[in-house]
Structure 1
Amino acid sequence: MDLFIKKRIRAVQKGDQNAYADLVDLYKDKIYRLCYRMLGNQHEAEDAAQEAFIRAYVHINTYNPDMKFSTWLYRIATNLTIDRLRKRKPDVYLDEEVNGTDGLTMQAQLPSREASPEEAVESLELQETVQRAIERLPEKYRSVIVLKYIEDLSLQEISDILGLPVGTVKTRLHRGREALRKQLGHL
């Protein structure tokens, strides 16, 4: 896989737009999911994901081949979503109401087994509750929680994406989990 990606990147750097389409196809779902979990709004997440891919394309010549392409792309997307969050709401508090579940469809995330209607409703409500709790986290905790638990990235990958020491990532994960635990303690 890495060889395929490196070949595609070299082709893009030589001007092959079709090679970039291959990279977009490979990462579009992951980048959208990251943006959605950070922003909590389908349309805004689509815009942010698209902008991340455009920025990556425009700056592909600055890509360091010693770094994983996915890490570089996640960093671009994470920085974009953080910038959008800062523009949207300058101060975020843990107990503050946050809107942003527009267009949220949780049906795709239901387990494939047949569930009773009651179980389906409970599952949707729980997922919506967790998503709202994540949205209420300050951006510095939200980003590490999403990257670790939603995107399943390692501490080192998160460190590379956010440009933070691993120790800081661990601290933010701990504090983010504690904040979520306080918000979701009633469950």
Structure 2
Amino acid sequence: MDKLARDDEELLIARSKRGDVNAFNQLILHYQPIMFSAIFRLLGDYDTAADITQDAFLAAFRGVQTYRGGSSFRAWLLRIGTNLVYDHWRRIQRRPAESLELLTEEDEPHSSESLSALITTGIEDNPEESLLSQELQGLIQQALEQLPFDQRTAIVLCDIQGLSYEEVAAATQATLGTVRSRISRGRTRLRQYLYQYRELLPRDYRLTKSSQEPPPLEGGVER
């Protein structure tokens, strides 16, 4: 957000704390795509993600008085969303069909967030590329769903939603060191998984088994 937008956000939050539903609805309009995208990437189910997104905003409105501004409002909202996802996850006791836990636990240094650049749009005019992109998005989602939930959450918030390590720590109520470890290990597992399907990746992202990150591609995050 630019400075004016941040000022607007602070005003809308203040009005929301006074019970102004219209003000909070404006916040929803801005943050709904972000919230839905994060929840969908965590669950992989459109309808469930839509329901939990709605529940998250209801919970946020009821609890907006507790927001003190110590972290970004986006991180605060995503903490509510990820908590609801975690509650849902525990209820259904979902387990990945193919665990990535057996892959290397080796840590890697913080590097460029290449995953967000792979989740792109804007090629719908080319049917062949669009088909390949859909296949790649499905592959990335499949890989995410096989990560341990805490690593998946950290990867989605950092590498797809673009939160800083500090914001991820605030959203997940974890220490900064824990967040760094989850992201590092999650990236390693994702890279190992995607290596099996490297022919689907853009040329600059055809990963090797080394820990080197490819250069970032231009592109936005898919909803």
Cα distance in 2 between the residues matched to 1:155 and 1:125: 29
Q: 2:136 aligns with which of 126, 130, 143?
A: 126
User: How large is the Cα RMSD of the aligned pairs?
Assistant: 2.0
Partner of 1:15: helix, strand, or coil? Answer: coil
1:111 aligns with 2:112: no
Cα distance in 1 between the residues matched to 2:41 and 2:94: 19
Name the amino acid aligned to 1:112: I
Partner of 1:37: helix, strand, or coil? Answer: helix
Residue 41 of structure 1: aligned partner = 45
Name the amino acid aligned to 1:95: S
Q: Is the 8 A contact 1:133 1:180 kept in 2?
A: yes
- When normalised by structure 1's length, the TM-score is 0.85
1:57 aligns with 2:68: no
Q: Where do 4+ consecutive residues of structure 1 move more than 6 Å?
A: none
Partner of 2:71: helix, strand, or coil? Answer: coil
Q: Is the 8 A contact 1:36 1:45 kept in 2?
A: yes
Q: Is the 8 A contact 1:93 1:138 kept in 2?
A: no
Range that drifts further, 47-56 or 7-16 = 7-16
1:179 aligns with 2:189: yes
Residue 99 of structure 1: aligned partner = none
What are the ranges of 5 or more consecutive residues in structure 2 without an aligned counterpart? 101-118, 198-223
| Larger RCO: 1 or 2 (CA < 8 Å, sep 6+) | 2
Higher helix share: 1
Shift of 1:94: 4.6
1:137 aligns with 2:147: yes
Shift of 1:120: 2.5
Residue 36 of structure 2: aligned partner = 32
Cα distance in 1 between the residues matched to 2:95 and 2:138: 23
* Residue correspondences, number: 175
Shift of 1:168: 0.9
Shift of 1:109: 5.1
Q: 1:85 aligns with which of 85, 89, 96?
A: 89
Residue 107 of structure 2: aligned partner = none
- When normalised by structure 2's length, the TM-score is 0.72
Identity of aligned residues (%): 33
Name the amino acid aligned to 2:49: A
Q: Is the 8 A contact 2:124 2:130 kept in 1?
A: no
Quickly say closer, same or farther: Cα 1:169–1:73, change in 2 above 3 A.
Answer: same
1:66-85 counterparts in 2 under 5 A? 66-85=70-89
Residue 105 of structure 1: aligned partner = none
| Deviations 1:110-157 (CA, angstroms, capped at 9, x unpaired) | 433742x33332221111111111111111111011011110111111
Partner of 1:140: helix, strand, or coil? Answer: helix
Q: Is the 8 A contact 2:96 2:145 kept in 1?
A: no
1:164 aligns with 2:174: yes
Cα distance in 2 between the residues matched to 1:71 and 1:183: 28
